[in-house]
Amino acid sequence: MSPKKTYERPIIKKLESNMPNKFGMRTIYEPVTHVEGHAVKDLIRDHGSPVFVISEKKIRKNYRAAKQAFETRYPKVQFAWSYKTNYLDAVCKIYHQEGSWAEVVSGFEYDKAIRNGVEGSKIIFNGPDKSEADLRKAVTNNSLIHIDHLDELYLLQDIAKNSKQRPKVAIRVNLDTGIFPMWDRFGFNYENGQAWDALNKIMFSGQMDLVGLHTHIGTFMLSAGAYAVAASKLAHLAQSVLAKYNHEIKYIDMGGGFASKNTLKGSFLPGSDISPSIDDFAEAITSALMNSDYRPKTPPLLIIESGRALIDDAAWLLGSVLANKRLSDGRRSTILDIGVNILFTAFWYDHKITPAQAFTSYTEDTALYGPLCMNIDVVRESINMPLLNKGDQVVVHHVGAYNMTQWMQFITLRPKVLLIDEYGKLHVIRNNETLSTLTDLEAVPPHLVHFEL
Ligand SMILES: *Cc1c(COP(=O)(O)O)cnc(C)c1O
């Protein structure tokens, strides 16, 4: 016997096809009942709600497509996985199995890469915060140290003086690519001569091996052309070093920052329509390098540190509806068990969110809130959604980048992360936190142990 149909109030609706409405493009309303062959309701029943799900197949597919985009255009390419984008061990190891080096920006990330079995010489150490101990370790391990500022350069010079090994270094260069705002807080500026000055200091010191040039021009870049400008400027620096010192730069590292297919807040068109493809970025970078005047005997290795664009669409966040209510202006609001504490990217993106079960054809402008007792806990300010009832489930798409690193333990505990392998088998790759995850780190002084109320 089929279940009794629920009453739905009649509505009159204008027919429109492929037309944006005042909320942007129309949301495609097909329920997403399965993720990589697993029923959403089973995943939530067995592993709790909310829960992150990552597809190993998708990660490998994206990676191979990106690698191919660069390798078909340029002879020597090396990817380095940006740890801060997603540094769960299982995720990093998929990239390392695919041949990716590690790109880290802190001592903690550096140690995580070593612990994951990455050879020191295949770790790129970026960022403004490298302690003396971090630098000594990186020098001993022959890692690639990308110098961010002069204080670091001087410290490294000092370390080099008393060390048997010569540090392998590059400088991070910031430059004007015509994109606003320009990122100039990291590394040395190209246009005002800081970068050239730093290169001369390194060459004159005679204590370090200048092996590369690095830039990372921004994040979620929507212009492939900006990378062409950046690559030309780095090639020009490399040629200047070659001309003055007869010294060949071994690699040019173009960083990451390629946009994923997510939709930025305030964007009228969805990211899937406007983000350049990996091929666009590859074409811009490789042709700028090859068309430059840099003429070493062997072409420099091209390093790519793409994070977001490789993993964003390889993960989903599954959750459940806690309640519905009307706001004072009559608008519908739905409260989910997914908050901005675990879906940090909700601050920047209008995430695609789909119901995980069949629904009726009536849709309404809805505010989607998280479970936190905090006004800022808004998952979507305004989304055209079918009616969701308490207990219904939803799928948030494209959550692979930055959520599983920037999530914060706030009000609720962090949930499980599951990996579906290439054969469809499910693995828990990070367990859910429990009360003791937190209390184990705490201590109560003896005089505060007892109280009476
Ligand atoms: C964050 C970061 C990346 C990765 O950036 P995406 O936007 O995730 O591609 C690469 N290199 C450096 C130096 C970074 O700081």
What CATH number is given to the structural domain containing 285?
3.20.20.10
Question: Ligand 1: distance of its center to the CA of 277 in Å?
Answer: 17
- Residue 144 and residue 219 in one domain: yes
Residue 116 lies in a domain: yes
Of 311, 328, 354, which residue sits at a domain end? 311
Of 311, 335, 350, which residue sits at a domain end? 311
pLDDT at residue 385 is higher than 70? yes
The best mutation among 87, 104, 285, 305 to test binding of ligand 1, ranked by most ligand atoms within 8 Å of the C-beta, falls on 305
Written in H, E and C, the secondary structure of the chain is CCCCCCCCCCCCCCCCCCCCECCECCCCCCCCCEECCEEHHHHHHHHCCCEEEEEHHHHHHHHHHHHHHHHCCCCCEEEEEEHHHCCCHHHHHHHHHCCCEEEECCHHHHHHHHHCCCCHHHEEECCCCCCHHHHHHHHHCCCEEEECCHHHHHHHHHHHHCCCCCCEEEEEEECCCCCCCCCCCCCEECCCCHHHHHHHHHHHHCCCEEEEEECCCCCCECCCHHHHHHHHHHHHHHHHHHHHHCCCCCEEECCCCECCCCCECCCCCCHHHHCCCHHHHHHHHHHHHHCCCCCCCCCCEEEECCCHHHHHHHEEEEEEEEEEEECCCCCEEEEECCCCCCCHHHHCECCCEEECCCCCCCEEEEEEECCCCCCCCEEEEEEEEECCCCCCEEEECCCCCCHHHHCCCECECCCCEEEECCCCCEEEEECCCCHHHHHCCCCCCHHHCCCCC
Question: Ligand 1: distance of its center to the CA of 219 in Å?
Answer: 7
pLDDT at residue 2 is higher than 70? no
pLDDT at residue 329 is higher than 90? yes
Residue 377 lies in a domain: yes
pLDDT at residue 226 is higher than 70? yes
Residue 66 lies in a domain: yes
Of ligand 1's atoms, which has the minimum distance to the CA of residue 219? 7
**28-37, 127-136, 397-406: which range is least confident on average?**
28-37
CA atoms in the 13 A half-sphere facing the CB of 418 = 23
pTM: 0.93
Task: Please state the φ and ψ torsions of residue 269, each to the nearest 5 degrees.
Answer: -95, 145
Averaged pLDDT of the chain: 94
Residue bearing the bigger pLDDT, 420 or 182: 420
Domain that holds residue 82: 56-311
- Residue 320 and residue 201 in one domain: no
pLDDT at residue 26 is higher than 60? no
Question: Ligand 1: distance of its center to the CA of 355 in Å?
Answer: 32
- Residue 40 and residue 175 in one domain: no
The best mutation among 59, 63, 85 to test binding of ligand 1, ranked by most ligand atoms within 8 Å of the C-beta, falls on 85
The pLDDT tens digits of the residues spanning 182-207 come to: 889 999 999 999 999 999 999 999 99
Residue 105 lies in a domain: yes
As for ligand 1, residues whose beta carbon falls within 6 Å of it are 82, 84-85, 103, 105, 126, 216, 219, 255-258, 305-309, 401
* Residue with CA closest to ligand 1 atom 11: 255
Residue 18 lies in a domain: no
- Residue 121 and residue 41 in one domain: no
The pLDDT value recorded for residue 362 is: 87
First to last CA, the chain: 57
- Residue 84 and residue 46 in one domain: no
- Residue 115 and residue 246 in one domain: yes
pLDDT at residue 18 is higher than 90? no
Q: What is the percentage of the chain residues whose pLDDT exceeds 90?
A: 89
Domain count, the chain: 2
Residue 24 lies in a domain: no
pLDDT-derived band at 179 (thresholds 50, 70, 90) equals confident
- Residue 338 and residue 426 in one domain: yes
The pLDDT value recorded for residue 29 is: 66
- Residue 225 and residue 88 in one domain: yes
What value does the mean pLDDT take over residues 1-12?
68
The best mutation among 219, 234, 310 to test binding of ligand 1, ranked by most ligand atoms within 8 Å of the C-beta, falls on 219
Residue 451 lies in a domain: no
- Residue 139 and residue 219 in one domain: yes
pLDDT-derived band at 412 (thresholds 50, 70, 90) equals very high
- Residue 355 and residue 416 in one domain: yes
The pLDDT value recorded for residue 267 is: 87
pLDDT-derived band at 25 (thresholds 50, 70, 90) equals low
Of 311, 327, 347, which residue sits at a domain end? 311
The pLDDT tens digits of the residues spanning 253-286 come to: 999 999 999 999 988 888 889 999 999 999 999 9
- CATH number, position 350: 2.40.37.10
Which two three-digit tokens encode residue 290?
Answer: 């090859």
- Residue 327 and residue 301 in one domain: no
Question: Ligand 1: distance of its center to the CA of 185 in Å?
Answer: 14
The pLDDT value recorded for residue 20 is: 56
- Residue 301 and residue 326 in one domain: no
What value does the mean pLDDT take over residues 146-163?
97
| Cβ–Cβ < 8 Å for 307, 339 | no
pLDDT-derived band at 4 (thresholds 50, 70, 90) equals confident
Residue 450 lies in a domain: no
